[in-house]
Amino acid sequence: MRKIFILALIVILVGCGKKEEAPTTYSINYNDDNYQIYMPYKKGVGNNYIINNNVVDFDINTIEKGLIQLSTNHFTIDKYYYQEGQYLKEKDLKTLLSKDNLNDNEKIKIDNNSVKPTVVVGIFEKDFVDADGKLQGMSLGLVLNPYQEAKKNSYVTIKNSTVIDIGKKASQKLLDYVRSTYDLNDLPILIGLYIEASPDVNTSGNYQYYGFTEDNTITFNYIDQKQYYLNSSNVKKMDVNSYNNYRHLVDEIHAYDNSIYVSALGYFSGNNLAKVDITITKSYYSYGELLYICNLLSENIVRDFLNTDVVINVKAINDIQANIVKQAEETTTDIFIY
């Protein structure tokens, strides 16, 4: 059974001049956890500055979502407000990511090629504040690139263990920089190490390690969680059933209309699929067509992703037309049409 909710926007006009006692907030959803966002909203000062063309939009989305998920382990959603990074400005990132700072690495010999690698290619900051807007915690995501250009259009791959070692050393330098530059000596700080995917594949990377500290040292733990697009070769090797189920979903949608774009990002714990975020995009839907597509999607995910949490965004270009939500083990879906 599917439950369909038609949502209407209600605009409430409030008289001017009234002073608010507490910050206005709204929620974002990720893996069933909701952070309230501190208002007024402030855009992050780092502007997602990166020094590597391999990092594309869907990778940035994965980096940010993954960092927020890691943050819930230490900055609980019922205690902290979420805020975009307000400390590491773009000019700071340019300095930190230079070959004189976090990328001051020794030459490495790989397959008869000697390269001086640029491994740390991005730093993402997420802040956590109290109800008064006072900073209570910070999460930093270091984006690490194992793929180094040896010759024009030719890449060599650094061993994963070497990339992690470089990332850990860079994390200590970054921790020292943040504490000294912004006088944040006692602030709880989380640092995640995100490893880029190969530039030859259309998929995202993953966080492999993270550490948490309240002082000047940091110890890292391995993360047995990965994120892959369900049409990737990684999923085909690791979980062929999920790969085939996704291909079946795409085939059914394209049998109706092959102009519809479909993507699905899977979150794996070990080799088990725990959650799927699916995006369906078309330029325009009639109301009847929207109902049909929502029903088609619901039937597929109940049948093929029964043991998995599923969230589907049905989009027309950049506007959300509908959301579909199914919890693991549930045989019903909630469909929200806007």
Structure tokens at 250: 């795409």
User: CA distances (Å), 291 to each of 41, 198, 278, 294, 330, in order?
Assistant: 34, 38, 17, 5, 21
Boundary-marking domain end, from 223, 258, 278: 223
**According to the model, what pLDDT value does residue 6 have?**
42
Tell which residue, 248, 314, 233, 306, has the closest CA to residue 273: 306
Same domain, 191 and 304: no
Same domain, 209 and 272: no
Structural domain of 151: 22-223
**According to the model, what pLDDT value does residue 104 have?**
93
Same domain, 116 and 182: yes
User: CA distances (Å), 335 to each of 1, 53, 241, 296, 338, in order?
Assistant: 11, 37, 25, 12, 10
Helices (H), 111-232: 160-182
**According to the model, what pLDDT value does residue 16 have?**
41
**According to the model, what pLDDT value does residue 69 have?**
85
Please check whether residue 307 lies inside any domain of the structure: yes
Please check whether residue 17 lies inside any domain of the structure: no
Same domain, 73 and 217: yes
Same domain, 241 and 218: no
CATH of the domain at 86: 3.10.570.10
pTM above 0.75, yes or no: no
Residue whose tokens read 């090797």: 237
Q: List, run by run, the mean pLDDT of 10-residue segments along the chain (338 residues).
A: 43 37 36 75 92 74 87 92 96 96 90 87 96 96 91 84 96 97 95 88 80 95 84 90 96 95 88 90 92 94 92 88 90 89
Same domain, 125 and 142: yes
- DSSP lists the bridge partners of residue 279 as 263, 313
**According to the model, what pLDDT value does residue 66 have?**
86
Please check whether residue 14 lies inside any domain of the structure: no
Residues 80 and 137: beta-carbon distance below 8 Å = yes
Structure tokens at 246: 């996704």
Same domain, 212 and 153: yes
Helix 287-304 / helix 240-256 crossing angle, nearest 10 deg: 160
Boundary-marking domain end, from 223, 246, 266: 223
- Our count of domains for the chain comes to 2
**Separation between Cα atoms, residue 111 and residue 230, nearest integer Å:** 32
**According to the model, what pLDDT value does residue 177 have?**
97
**According to the model, what pLDDT value does residue 13 have?**
33
**Separation between Cα atoms, residue 197 and residue 65, nearest integer Å:** 16
Same domain, 200 and 248: no
Same domain, 216 and 238: no
**According to the model, what pLDDT value does residue 203 have?**
65
Please check whether residue 5 lies inside any domain of the structure: no
Boundary-marking domain end, from 223, 241, 266: 223
Residue 22 one-letter amino acid: A
Residue whose tokens read 């995202």: 204
Please check whether residue 11 lies inside any domain of the structure: no
Please check whether residue 2 lies inside any domain of the structure: no
